Amino acid sequence: MNNFLKNRKSVRDFKDKKIRDETLKKIKDYCAQLEEENIQGGFQFILFENGERIYKSLEGIGGYAGVMIKSPHYIALNIKDNREESIIYGAYFMEKLITKLTDLNIGSCWIGLKGVDEDTKKELFQISEGSVDYLLAIGYPVPKNPFVGDSTSSRIGVEDIVFKDEIGKSINLDELESRGLDDLFYYIRFSPSSHNKQPWRFILKDDRVILLLAYSPDEKPNLADAGIIMYYFENLAKAIGIDNKWKLLNNPDYDDGKMKYKYIGEFGI
């Protein structure tokens, strides 16, 4: 999992080649399995095999600043209700799906659709209920030029995302090491986030870790980022012998005068 996180790359260039039928069936079956695994409900995965139709309909309006990723297939994340936990766990299981796709040697890339109007999305995805704000482009990656280095994203330090008892109170890194949590927080920084904002903040308090999302007063917290970090945190914790699950919180947001922080959940350690 450590290696997977450090080397996890979104694929933006796909071969113009459809995924083999037997592999597509495995993907469909796994999507169904994840929906059953999610006891909270509230979302569904929809696989679109005709990627050309999706791409042409969203070209210029979908993706980051209207730059749409072209791929042979797409998987839509349909949030069937407006509950925050549906968005969080939809992203959680989408990232679990990405891990499976990587095992199948299939590349993937998150695509945001929040700038696309609801009528367009409902007609395109043929859904009668819910909303699709995210797609996953999937396919065979175009081979990379071995003479061109990969671009890297800077990562904020452990001391900037982990605090003791409350936001803003520094934690001694020796304490993380003595509790066996230093590697977990080192590697969790490599988790993906929207526009690489790395909004996660953790408070270490007694026998639990509290997760918050930092956001500026003129924006809203991206709940998909919460689901993604929760998935990787659970798996990294499990790798060091802590087999537990997040419990969602409903605390009021915290405001330190510069940033706001949304409470997401707590994790027993």
Q: Find the domain containing 264 and state its range.
A: 158-268
Query: Would you say residue 101 lies in a domain?
Result: yes
Is 150 inside a domain boundary? no
- 134 and 8 belong to one structural domain: yes
The answer to whether residue 151 is domain-embedded is no
Residues 169 and 208 in one domain: yes
The pLDDT > 90 percentage for the chain reads: 84
Q: What is the pLDDT of residues 66-99, one digit of tens each?
A: 789 999 999 999 999 989 999 999 999 999 999 9
pLDDT at 195 over 60: yes
| pLDDT attached to residue 2 | 67
Q: Nearest-CA neighbor of 101 among 4, 196, 187, 15?
A: 4
Residue 148 pLDDT class (50, 70, 90 cuts): low
Is the domain of 9 the same as that of 102? yes
The domain total for the chain is 2
Q: pLDDT tens across 55-68, in order?
A: 999 999 998 777 89
Q: Does 120 lie in the same domain as 15?
A: yes
Q: H-type helices in the chain, by residue range?
A: 2-7, 21-37, 51-58, 84-103, 118-125, 158-161, 173-178, 182-188, 223-239
| 31 located within any domain | yes
Tens-digit pLDDT profile for residues 242-266: 999 999 999 999 999 999 999 999 9
Q: Which of 104, 139, 174 marks a domain boundary?
A: 139
Residue pointed to by tokens 């990405």: 98
Q: What per-residue confidence (pLDDT) applies to 176?
A: 96
**In a shared domain, residues 6 and 135:** yes
Q: Do 162 and 134 fall into the same domain?
A: no
Provide the pLDDT for residue 139. 97
Residue 152 has pLDDT above 90, yes or no: no
- Are residues 211 and 133 part of one domain? no
Same domain? 169 vs 239: yes
pTM for this model (two decimals): 0.94
**Pair 82, 194 in one domain:** no
Looking at the structure, do residues 81 and 197 belong to the same domain, yes or no? no
| Residues 109 and 196 occupy one common structural domain | no
Q: What is the pLDDT of residue 9?
A: 76
Query: What CATH number did the domain enclosing 232 receive?
Result: 3.40.109.30
- Per-residue pLDDT of 3-54, as tens digits, reads 777 667 789 999 999 999 999 999 999 999 999 999 888 999 999 999 999 9
Same domain membership, residue 30 and residue 57: yes
CATH number for position 54? 3.40.109.10
Do the domain assignments include residue 18? yes
